[in-house]
Amino acid sequence: MKLKLAPFVAAAGALAGTAIAANAQGSFYLKNGDRVVFYGDSITEQHLYTNWVEDYVVTRFPNLKVDFVNAGVGGDRVTGGWAGDINTRLKRDLIPFKPTIVTCMLAMNDASYRAYDPAIFHTYAKGYKYILDTVKASLPDVRWTLIEPSPYDDVTRAPGFPGGYNAVLLKYAAYVKKLAASTGSLVTDFNHPMTEMLGKANVADPSLASKLIPDRVHPSPAGHLIMAESLLRTWNAPATVASATIDGSTGKVTAELNTKISGITTTNGVISWAETDKSLPFPLDLKDAETKLVLASSNFVQKIDEEPLTVTGLTAAHYVLAIDGTTVGTFTPDELSAGVNLALLDTPMLKQALAVNQLTTDHSNVHMTMWRNVEMPYAYDQGPALSKAIQALNALDFQLQTRRRMIAQPHAHTFTLTPAA
């Protein structure tokens, strides 16, 4: 068990835990030194809402030292599944990492894809409580975030039986909420925000909306955005990446949040300045049709991805905004006065965030390789070769997470607003 811990503990002080104080955008739930284990079934195993959450934490708090482990297994129930019974799962895949925070989402398989059955539900309720009690016995200070199960898609397609399977899941969700209250755990709702988004998307584009949960169980990457947003909001995640307001008539900064502006010049109507944001925007694929539908059908941007640039006192008909010499958009004075959300533009900051996202994928893949392709299948041979293989892959995982924080560090950028010809 100690083999798993070494790469994570080794650099506990590698980066100073000053991000929260420096960010000054409220008290985010995750703290320096936290280790998060995402526990669940195949929806967690997808590494989608979990990767989105990791991306947010690293891009928004680049100096915050938090480690992440995904322990999702397809088909799992509160009793376990093909990868082992619940005691095997907890003792191998969760407890050895000594998490300070555990998220748990189970129910999709537990409810058995049928009408509500009290006996099946009783097994779920008893088993879920057992998970919390067992982990608490080994890790008494662990902080739980219980997740009300994500929806079965009875929105874009007709329910398979009266009332539909999602209505059954909502009964399980009600229990999760009650259990959280009785155990002093946080709780987050994946179901209602997802079904609300699906309803709006289905009105706008029924064909595309049906692809957001293509098999009615496993959301697409774009669908997972809403689940990540729900979890992050439960953790008091700030919506604002950075915010700047400049008076174009005087060349003065009138407001700035989580950024530093310097060197403003105004020459022949051209305004330029240097800007260093302390955070990065969410790594969205702005060309993806499903992503655009999800954003249009939800408050994701307003709740989690605001990066407003406001410039007042402009007199030309249109202005070209360039960052580091590359045009990112053309706007009217009214648009700039109201505030342009840079998070929805193809900026150098977005490219940096996308590089972070790639490293999130890389570290997740390495952990999956260690766990599913090495540790589990060769558990019968507890020799030194297996130990070294696990140690090496865990060290690589940690190295990638460390590199990811380095890639997310703030950069200075040159902004220019030029009157359009």
Give the model's pLDDT for residue 421.
82
> What φ, ψ does residue 21 adopt, rounded to 5°?
-65, -40
What are the sequence ranges of the domains in the chain? 2-238
Give the model's pLDDT for residue 9.
32
Q: Which residues contact 43 (CB under 8 A, 6 or more apart)?
A: 49, 72, 105, 108, 150, 217, 218, 219
Reported as a pLDDT band with limits 50, 70 and 90, residue 154 is very high
Express each pLDDT in 272-320 by its tens digit.
999 999 999 999 999 999 999 999 999 999 999 999 999 999 999 999 9
Task: Report the distance separating Cα 121 and Cα 41, nearest Å.
Answer: 17
User: Is residue 2 pLDDT above 50, yes or no?
Assistant: no
Reported as a pLDDT band with limits 50, 70 and 90, residue 6 is very low
Higher pLDDT, 114 or 15: 114
Express each pLDDT in 330-346 by its tens digit.
999 999 999 999 999 99
The DSSP-derived string for 271-323 is: EEEEEEESS------TT-HHHHHHHHTSSHHHHH-B-EEEEES--SS-EEEEE
CATH of domain 2-238: 3.40.50.1110
Q: Average pLDDT in the 183-198 region? A: 98
Structure tokens at 313: 């006192």
pLDDT above 90 covers a percentage of the chain that reads 92
Q: What is the mean pLDDT of the chain?
A: 93
pLDDT above 70 covers a percentage of the chain that reads 94
Reported as a pLDDT band with limits 50, 70 and 90, residue 20 is very low
Measured in whole angstroms, how far is the alpha carbon of residue 298 from the centre of its chain?
16
Could you count the other beta carbons within 10 Å of the beta carbon of residue 245?
18
Give the model's pLDDT for residue 25.
42
Express each pLDDT in 67-95 by its tens digit.
999 999 999 999 999 999 999 999 999 99
Q: Could you give the angle at the alpha carbon of 99 between the alpha carbons of 97 and 100, nearest 5°?
A: 160
Task: Report the distance separating Cα 305 and Cα 378, nearest Å.
Answer: 43
Sign of CA pseudo-dihedral 293, 291, 236, 147: positive
Reported as a pLDDT band with limits 50, 70 and 90, residue 63 is very high
Give the model's pLDDT for residue 16.
31
Express each pLDDT in 381-395 by its tens digit.
888 999 999 999 999
User: Is residue 23 pLDDT above 60, yes or no?
Assistant: no
Q: Which residues contact 287 (CB under 8 A, 6 or more apart)?
A: none
Amino acid letter, residue 203: V
